[in-house]
Structure 1
Amino acid sequence: MPAPTQAAPTPGSSPRPPLGAELDALLARVSDGDRDAFTALYGCVAAPVFGLARRVLRDAAHAEDVCQDTLVEVWRTAARFDAQQGSALTWVLTLTHRRAVDRLRTVRAAAEREHRAGLLAYAVPYDEVAEEVERREEHTQVRHCLETLTPRQHESLTLAYYGGFTYPEVAERLGLALGTVKSRMRDGLYRLRDCLRTA
């Protein structure tokens, strides 16, 4: 069933204060395909969703897209909401934050690609063979130094720097406290730095 069409909130719109129990009940009805419940839910959460997306992305157009995508996801996945795990608003804002972070990464990656393409257009000719050799040597050094880390440090750093996860996401995936993950990664980075200096 397609999601009901709703207009994205404007930056000046004022949210109606959402009530926890009311939102939980609305979300339960949305999971049954109740369009009227979705319209009411939308009216309660659209402005907070837009506000969070705007804070993460700092761009109104991208925030509107994220807001719309999030609320379509709410319509489609409302049955996954578990009131015992938190409030309906918290669940919706969690979906919003994930989508906003994903959009931010996509936007930044696109900007970096454009920047690299611009640099290449004005690049001075260089010895490609020599650069490739140097790049492989650096890769070998990094790989060697990663092997000097403890398994836990290696796992945390790999998730963060190769998997692209934030500290909280690493902590969630490993089932650890955020402070533990930060400490583990800090110690691992110190060891990695010292190894690369002597390599």
Structure 2
Amino acid sequence: MAKGTQQYLLLADEDLISLVAARDSSAFATLYDRHGRAAYSLAYRMMGDRQAAEDLAQEAFLEVWRAARSYRAERGSVRTWILSIVHNRGIDQLRSAASRRRTQERVRTTAQTSQPSEAFREVWGNTRREQVRAALRHLPPEQLKVLELAYFSGYTHAEIAEMLDIPLGTVKGRMRLGLKKIREFFESQGMGVPG
């Protein structure tokens, strides 16, 4: 390491992020060296694939470079901020992948000729989906995340626990509470729970 860049090793993360905000590439490289492994580790737990994890970690650090000015120390450490970027981008990617799968499934389904009874079923299904979306909007974020990963992305309880780095019992508890709240929402609206 060149003598000029050794000085960065002595700086605190908060000082480095300020330098990154001023577009100092050596400070950015030092932050990457400090937190790149943790970012990749979290990305791998979420994505379950080496290449996808590398891509996610790289995208997150590009976001760190672009958004360094938005870092606020009062909201948490630089490491926490970086990992939250990884986490949020990972969730976005998982949702996007699930959405693509749903769209592909809809295209396959509607490619078949629709009979009047099929059209009615489709309209009825769309109405029920809207009702479910309304119920989901009433859930706390941690319960919503677990239900989305389980029901929309198809992950098992164990995979979700590993992905979110929480105990399996916590995943099951959040799922149980979330489903209970959805049931209560439908009952409060005078609707039956969708089957």
Q: 1:88 to 1:141 in 2, by over 3 A?
A: closer
Distance in 1 (alpha carbons) for counterparts of 2:183 and 2:144: 18
Give the match's secondary structure for 1:186. Answer: helix
The match for 2:50 is 60
The match for 1:135 is 122
Task: Kindly indicate whether the alpha-carbon contact (under 8 Å) linking 1:26 and 1:41 is maintained by their aligned counterparts in 2.
Answer: yes
Distance in 2 (alpha carbons) for counterparts of 1:41 and 1:71: 9
Correspondent of 1:167 among 130, 133, 142: 142
For this pair of structures, how many residues does the alignment match? 156
Task: Kindly indicate whether the alpha-carbon contact (under 8 Å) linking 2:186 and 2:193 is maintained by their aligned counterparts in 1.
Answer: no
Distance in 1 (alpha carbons) for counterparts of 2:54 and 2:192: 46
TM-score normalised per structure 1: 0.61
Distance in 2 (alpha carbons) for counterparts of 1:58 and 1:82: 30
Q: Which ranges in structure 2 are unaligned for 5 or more consecutive residues?
A: 1-8, 146-172
Aligned ranges 1:69-148 → 2 under 5 Å: 69-117=59-107, 127-128=115-116, 130-137=117-124
Aligned ranges 1:41-60 → 2 under 5 Å: 41-60=31-50
Task: Kindly indicate whether the alpha-carbon contact (under 8 Å) linking 2:135 and 2:185 is maintained by their aligned counterparts in 1.
Answer: no
Aligned partner letter, 1:136:
V
Q: Deviations over 1:56-83 (max 9, x none)?
A: 1111111111111110110111111111
Distance in 2 (alpha carbons) for counterparts of 1:84 and 1:168: 26
Sequence identity (%): 25
Correspondent of 2:183 among 186, 189, 195: 189
Q: 1:32 to 1:142 in 2, by over 3 A?
A: closer
Distance in 2 (alpha carbons) for counterparts of 1:198 and 1:36: 56
The match for 2:137 is 158
Distance in 1 (alpha carbons) for counterparts of 2:102 and 2:75: 38
Distance in 1 (alpha carbons) for counterparts of 2:66 and 2:32: 13
Q: 1:196 to 1:43 in 2, by over 3 A?
A: same
Aligned partner letter, 2:76:
G
Task: Kindly indicate whether the alpha-carbon contact (under 8 Å) linking 1:26 and 1:38 is maintained by their aligned counterparts in 2.
Answer: yes
TM-score normalised per structure 2: 0.62
**Which region of structure 1 is more displaced relative to structure 2, 106-115 or 92-101?**
106-115
Give the match's secondary structure for 2:12. Answer: helix
Q: Within the alignment, does 1:27 sit opposite 2:17 as a pair?
A: yes
Aligned partner letter, 1:158:
R
Q: CA deviation at 1:193?
A: 6.2
* Bigger proportion of residues as helix: 2
Distance in 2 (alpha carbons) for counterparts of 1:142 and 1:155: 9
Q: CA deviation at 1:106?
A: 1.5
Distance in 2 (alpha carbons) for counterparts of 1:198 and 1:184: 13
Q: CA deviation at 1:134?
A: 3.3
**Which region of structure 1 is more displaced relative to structure 2, 188-197 or 103-112?**
188-197
